[in-house]
Homo-oligomer: A and B are copies of this chain.
């Protein structure tokens, strides 16, 4: 998922977390994050290509803001994993275990 690749970079992760507080021009992020301007612009480019942010032009400044969709998609994907901690999972573990020991004890028990 391209979303993950974009978010995996620590600085981009920071940028996104910053933008959660609201839309911001590039310069703001530069000072807040202590990065160099070109680097921030590049990261924003990646985030933009990944559909995580969009830009609004305001004179010389570009105001970047988060775009919900990709985050929403991420949550949808993650929902599949919720059953991991909502019990009744990993029961298959024991199941596979039985199948294996069965084979060992009586050889090919199935079919």
Q: A: which residues have CB within 8 A of B?
A: 1, 4-5, 7-8, 13, 20-23, 56, 58, 63, 65-66, 68-69, 71-72, 74-75, 78, 80-82, 84-85, 90, 92-93, 95-97, 100
Contact = CB atoms under 8 A, between A and B. Distances in A.
Nearest to A82: B75
Contacts of A65: 90, 93
Centre residue among A21, A71, A74, A96 by max chain B CB count within 10 A:
A96
The number of times this chain is found in the oligomer is: 2
A20 B68 contact: no
A57 to B, nearest CB: 12
Contacts of A58: 97, 100
